[in-house]
Homo-oligomer: A and B are copies of this chain.
């Protein structure tokens, strides 16, 4: 359950409404931590019940901005320092790659081309963010520095995946010269 702490962390930067948070989540973490608004509104209510956040202001259109409380700040800090990190890397392309041997070589090449392109584009997108930050467009607050660190992770991860996809194209699907006997259920 990291959404909870994601929200607390974002609220630590300053008051925001559920709508704001949904947008920020989508923008900054869309590729990394998807969260749709129903989940966010529900979680905000729960956080408010537990007094980790409180209503800061009510605006037009039923807008309700929340502010983090001292208890909330303590909780996010506790999470950051004492809670175990979940090291699971849930990346579907990795799962798929286990089964590449089931694919027609031409389909596979096309697939890897598309994947490499996608990863490279994602890396480029994060690079643009990083450049903007390095130019000072987001100021130089501690928060923006942390964002820069997150962005760097995105760049490195997507670069790694892009180069992996390129490399994967160079791996021949099966032993080229020797016995091709045991095709098993995969035989076409």
Contacts and interface: CB of A to CB of B under 8 A. Distances in A.
Interface of A: 2, 5-6, 9-10, 12-14, 28-29, 31-34, 68, 73, 76-77, 80-81, 85-104, 107, 111, 115, 118, 122, 140-143, 145-150, 152-154, 156-157, 159-161, 163-164, 167-168, 171-175, 178, 182, 184-186
Given A153-B93, A168-B152, A141 B174 contact: yes
Contacts of A142: 101, 173-174, 186
Contact of A73 (B9, B149, B182, B185): B185
A168 B31 CA distance: 21
A67 to B, nearest CB: 8
B68 A32 contact: no
A4 to B, nearest CB: 11
A13 B184 contact: yes
A10 B157 CA distance: 27
Contact of A88 (B31, B95, B154, B178): B31
A35 to B, nearest CB: 10
Contact of A149 (B12, B76, B102, B171): B171
A116 B110 CA distance: 35
Q: Which 9 A-B pairs have the closest CB atoms?
A: A101-B142, A9-B99, A90-B90, A160-B160, A156-B160, A86-B92, A101-B146, A142-B174, A100-B146
